[in-house]
Amino acid sequence: MSSFAAAPRHLIAQARGHVRNIITAGERPDSGLTVVLTLQLEDGVQFRVLGDASAHRTAVPVEPSLEDGYIWLMQQRED
Protein backbone atom coordinates (compact mmCIF):
# COMPACT_ATOMS: atom_id res chain seq x y z
CA MET A 1 0.00 0.00 0.00
CA SER A 2 1.43 3.37 -1.00
CA SER A 3 1.29 6.46 1.16
CA PHE A 4 -0.02 9.94 0.46
CA ALA A 5 2.97 12.29 0.53
CA ALA A 6 1.48 15.77 0.24
CA ALA A 7 0.33 18.60 2.47
CA PRO A 8 -2.94 18.11 4.38
CA ARG A 9 -4.65 20.73 2.18
CA HIS A 10 -4.08 18.45 -0.82
CA LEU A 11 -5.70 15.53 0.99
CA ILE A 12 -8.67 17.74 1.85
CA ALA A 13 -8.90 18.85 -1.78
CA GLN A 14 -9.28 15.20 -2.87
CA ALA A 15 -12.67 15.03 -1.11
CA ARG A 16 -13.95 18.44 -2.24
CA GLY A 17 -17.28 18.05 -4.01
CA HIS A 18 -17.94 14.64 -2.44
CA VAL A 19 -18.99 15.65 1.10
CA ARG A 20 -22.56 16.59 2.00
CA ASN A 21 -24.83 16.94 4.98
CA ILE A 22 -28.22 15.26 4.77
CA ILE A 23 -30.97 15.83 7.32
CA THR A 24 -33.65 13.15 7.66
CA ALA A 25 -36.35 12.21 10.14
CA GLY A 26 -34.00 9.46 11.29
CA GLU A 27 -33.67 7.11 8.33
CA ARG A 28 -30.14 6.47 7.17
CA PRO A 29 -29.20 7.69 3.65
CA ASP A 30 -28.80 5.25 0.74
CA SER A 31 -26.28 2.46 1.06
CA GLY A 32 -24.18 3.91 -1.78
CA LEU A 33 -22.99 6.64 0.59
CA THR A 34 -20.46 6.45 3.39
CA VAL A 35 -21.74 7.98 6.61
CA VAL A 36 -18.82 9.60 8.44
CA LEU A 37 -20.77 11.45 11.14
CA THR A 38 -24.24 11.27 12.66
CA LEU A 39 -25.62 14.16 14.68
CA GLN A 40 -28.94 13.97 16.53
CA LEU A 41 -30.88 17.22 16.12
CA GLU A 42 -34.05 18.40 17.80
CA ASP A 43 -36.17 17.64 14.74
CA GLY A 44 -34.20 14.93 12.92
CA VAL A 45 -30.80 13.45 12.27
CA GLN A 46 -27.97 15.04 10.31
CA PHE A 47 -25.68 12.68 8.41
CA ARG A 48 -22.33 13.79 7.01
CA VAL A 49 -21.76 11.57 3.98
CA LEU A 50 -19.16 10.90 1.31
CA GLY A 51 -20.20 9.98 -2.20
CA ASP A 52 -22.75 11.13 -4.74
CA ALA A 53 -25.62 12.43 -2.63
CA SER A 54 -27.00 14.75 -5.31
CA ALA A 55 -30.24 12.72 -5.51
CA HIS A 56 -31.13 13.64 -1.92
CA ARG A 57 -33.21 16.80 -1.85
CA THR A 58 -31.82 17.79 1.56
CA ALA A 59 -28.17 17.20 0.61
CA VAL A 60 -26.07 20.30 1.25
CA PRO A 61 -22.47 20.40 0.00
CA VAL A 62 -19.96 21.15 2.77
CA GLU A 63 -16.24 21.81 2.90
CA PRO A 64 -14.37 18.58 3.63
CA SER A 65 -12.27 18.05 6.73
CA LEU A 66 -8.92 16.29 6.86
CA GLU A 67 -10.73 13.18 8.09
CA ASP A 68 -13.12 13.32 5.12
CA GLY A 69 -10.13 13.53 2.79
CA TYR A 70 -8.50 10.51 4.41
CA ILE A 71 -11.67 8.39 4.23
CA TRP A 72 -12.25 9.44 0.60
CA LEU A 73 -8.68 8.53 -0.33
CA MET A 74 -8.95 5.11 1.34
CA GLN A 75 -12.21 4.39 -0.49
CA GLN A 76 -10.68 5.32 -3.84
CA ARG A 77 -7.73 3.01 -3.23
CA GLU A 78 -10.10 0.11 -2.47
CA ASP A 79 -11.90 0.55 -5.82
User: 3-state SS of the chain: helix, strand, coil percent to 5?
Assistant: 25, 30, 45
CA–CA dist 53, 28 (Å, integer): 12
The pLDDT assigned to 77 comes to 81
The yes-or-no verdict on residue 1 having pLDDT over 60 is: no
Percent pLDDT > 70 in the chain is 95
The pLDDT assigned to 21 comes to 96
Query: Collapsing DSSP states into helix, strand and coil, what is residue 13?
Result: helix
* Residue that wins the pLDDT comparison between 29 and 77: 29
Give the pLDDT mean for 14-25: 95
pLDDT band at residue 3 under the 50/70/90 scheme: low
Beta strand pairing call for 19-24 and 34-41: unpaired
The yes-or-no verdict on residue 79 having pLDDT over 70 is: no
